Amino acid sequence: MTAAPLPRPSGVSDDDVRAAQRTVAALSEAFSAKVVGQEHLRESLLIGLLAGGHILIESVPGLAKTTAARVIADAIDGELRRIQCTPDLLPSDIVGTQIYDAARASFVTQLGPVHANIVLLDEINRSSAKTQSAMLEAMEERQTTVAGTVYPIPEPFLVIATQNPVDQEGTYPLSEAQTDRFLLKDIVGYPSPEQEVEVLSRRDAGLYDKGHRARPVATLEDIRRVQRVVADVYLSRELMLYASHLVAVTREPARHLPAHVARLVEYGASPRATIALCTAARALALLSGRAHVIPGDIADLAHRVLQHRLILGFEAAGAGLTPAVVIDAALDAVRVP
């Protein structure tokens, strides 16, 4: 018996899906040609770009985060702006300000570096809370306000924020309201010795010289078209409930999780986590060559969506436990549809 075709919204045709998949494949190839390893990071960055979300990356310096951002920007022929966060960075340094133009004898608006397609916020947790909060309007509303005037941010728009491990000296944990605005959080580890040798080989070959940039493989309009396709990737009601139940378990851990895990959780994830799971799952499905979401897409993204949204208590901190323990228990507790 032939399986019934999956429902598809009227706005998405087979040609749209195939064109989107070709664009995604070209972006993946461009990334791998410049960045050694880091397949998990590649996937997270492309999910953020295609789903219209933002990415928080935690790692120590020197693990190709800036290179990865540059490759993505070059591949889509977009504008990349890098902001090095320091304790003395001001909100106006990011958003923009008004300056006095003596020639015109008036004030003119100078927009900040957040007005770009790809914005790399390097070491965001070395900046003050006031400066961190300057990004909230830009990330959520896709606009900034300078001297009472609203300025839209160009689309597509992707913020890639990097942070050092929070136990390092001179770092300040992001607020819950700030971290909740990031679609995914990825933790980037060290490369293998073989991958480091490949980096050295490519460096000797001049592949990382300033003049050796990745050629564009897509346009900004191509990305906007792919984003429209991603928004229409089929997600069944059963999988929406699956995502919702995963998040709900973190809010009532005592009812669903083993006691030794439940007592670690102080606050669970908000409904924004459920939205993020479903949104990112649609992008991951397209990256995997499908126009429909499967349960594995949601399970694969659970750690990246939830780990920065859970607040653990002092017992977890004392034992050196991370949100991964809670997320693993939630995945075990919720029945896969």
Q: What does the pLDDT read at residue 98?
A: 86
Question: CA separation (Å) from 122 to 31, 53, 159, 161, 300?
Answer: 20, 17, 10, 6, 26
**Per-residue pLDDT at 276:** 96
240 plus 156 within the same structural domain: no
Q: For residue 12, what pLDDT is reported? A: 65
Give the alpha-carbon dihedral of 298, 249, 272, 6, to 10 degrees: 30
Three-state DSSP class for 171? coil
Element (H, E) at 255: helix 253-256
Is 20 a domain residue? yes
Same domain, 206 and 262: no
Q: Is residue 26 part of a domain?
A: yes
List the structure tokens of 37. Answer: 């390893």
Q: How many domains does the chain have?
A: 2
- Are both 149 and 45 inside the same structural domain? yes
Structural domain includes residue 6 = no
Same domain? For 260 and 154 the reply is no
CATH number of the domain that residue 252 is part of: 1.10.8.80
Domain of 307? 233-337
Q: Are 21 and 166 contained in the same domain?
A: yes
- Residue 4 confidence (pLDDT): 43
Nearest to 114 by CA among 149, 153, 140, 146: 153
Could you give the CA distance from residue 148 to residue 107 in angstroms, rounded to a whole number? 13
We report the CATH number of the domain holding residue 134 as 3.40.50.300
Q: What is the pLDDT of residues 155-189, one digit of tens each?
A: 999 999 998 876 666 677 788 888 899 999 999 88
Residue 215: φ, ψ to 5°:
-80, 150
pLDDT (tens digit, 9 = 90+) per residue, 310-335?
A: 999 888 878 888 899 999 999 999 99
Residue 23 lies in a domain: yes
Q: Is residue 327 part of a domain?
A: yes
* Shared domain check, 18 and 107: yes
Domain stop point among 199, 214, 231: 231
Q: Is 123 left (phi over 0), alpha (psi -120 to 50) or beta?
A: left
Rounded average pLDDT per 10-residue block, the chain, 337 residues: 45 80 93 86 95 92 86 94 91 89 84 94 87 86 89 94 74 81 92 87 74 82 95 94 96 92 92 96 93 95 96 84 93 94
247/105 same-domain check: no
Q: What is the pLDDT of residue 332?
A: 96
Report yes or no on 5 lying in a domain.
no
Residue where a domain stops, chosen among 198, 231, 264? 231
- The pLDDT of residue 5: 44
Query: Does residue 3 belong to any structural domain of this protein?
Result: no
Same domain for 261 and 130?
no
156 with 260, same domain?
A: no
92 and 172 share a domain? yes
Q: Bridge-partner residues for 160, per DSSP?
A: 55, 120
pLDDT at 93: 92
Could you tell me if residue 214 is inside a domain?
yes
114 and 257, same domain (yes or no): no
Angle, helices 271-287 vs 220-231, to 10°: value is: 110
Give the domain-ending residue among 206, 231, 256: 231
* Whether 235 contacts 7, CB under 8 Å: no
Same domain, 145 and 168: yes
Alpha carbon distance 276, 113 (integer Å): 26
